[in-house]
Amino acid sequence: MSRAAKLLAVTTVIGLGASIWLYLDNRSLRSELASAPAKVAPPAPTDLAGSGERPRDAWLDATRPRSAEIPKLATGEQPALPEEKKESRLDRRARRTEEFAAMFGRHDGETEEEYKARIGPMISAGLALPRMRAVENRRLAEEKAGVTPEQSAKLDQAFEKTYGDVLDYTNKAIADGLLSPYERNVAGWLDYAGGLGGMLTEAQGSIGKILSPEQIKAMSASGFEWGEYLGLSAPWQDLKAPPPPKPNN
């Protein structure tokens, strides 16, 4: 496999993985924010003019001894909150693996259609913003490289075959357990990325037949990566459901 193919494969997997990770992290932060206790605003000062009492001075109250106003606690141990258990990096990794399995794994009795109806919109929503940025980056890079509308349309047509090959390959990897939502399989991910390199090499060859070497160089010099773009633009929401989890998962 050529160096360019390996780079495209790695950037594709990293782009997809980073998008899913950010989606999960954002979901976790929203959950923590929703469960945080709400702050209660202090009561507004009350006008005591009609009650015959003198209004209290905040400055004098702060300097006046308050021992008589605060009831003493009964003798014995002072109340204390339970110690919060700190989560280690390994604990956090295990928790997020479980969250990923619960989100992208197959539920008990869930059919293929039910799975796709549940996961498809979730993936589309999670990748919506990264996809918009990828499209905009491609547009800017094509402008700098002088890519014509006809060339851009030919690229889109060539990528349709790439997307189909990538989805077929990914579905097979999921069915064979190479990619599993139930466990961390780094060796499987690397194996998957290696096989993806051949498809991206073919896509790169199609790009070279449509764009000139100068145009390709100009787009690359602008910071645009075809591997990242293809990884985000592929219709991942159309993937098939994974097999049900094994009893020990």
Each residue of 53-107: pLDDT tens digit? 555 555 555 555 555 555 555 555 666 667 777 878 888 888 888 888 888 899 9
In this predicted structure, what is the pLDDT of residue 100? 86
The pLDDT score that the predictor gives to residue 144 is 96
What would the pLDDT profile of 18-32 be if each residue is shown by its tens digit? Answer: 455 555 555 555 555
**117 is a domain residue:** yes
Which pLDDT score is estimated for 248?
64
Tell me how far apart the alpha carbons of residues 87 and 126 are, in angstroms, rounded to a whole number.
26
| pLDDT profile of the chain (249 residues), mean per 10 | 47 52 54 55 53 56 54 59 77 86 90 93 94 96 97 96 94 91 87 88 94 96 94 93 80
pLDDT value at position 88?
86
Looking at every residue in the chain, the average pLDDT score rounds to 79
Q: How many domains does the chain have?
A: 1
**Close Cβ partners of 38 (under 8 Å, ≥ 6 residues apart):** none
Residue 232 lies in a domain: yes
What pLDDT score does 7 carry?
45
Residue 122 counted as domain residue: yes
Please report the pLDDT score of residue 10 as a whole number.
47
Q: What angle do CA 201, 10, 106 make, to 5 degrees?
A: 105
Residue 32: inside a domain: no
Range of the domain at 200: 3-25+89-238
d(CA 98, CA 103): 9
The verdict on residue 59 lying in a domain is no
Distance CA 206, CA 201 (A): 9
Q: Is residue 50 part of a domain?
A: no
- Does 81 reside within a domain? no
Residue 248 lies in a domain: no
Question: Which parts of the chain fold into alpha helices (H)?
Answer: 3-35, 58-63, 89-104, 112-145, 149-175, 186-210, 213-221, 226-233
Look up tokens 């889109």; give the residue: 156
pLDDT at 128: 95
What is the share, in percent, of the chain residues with pLDDT greater than 70?
Answer: 65
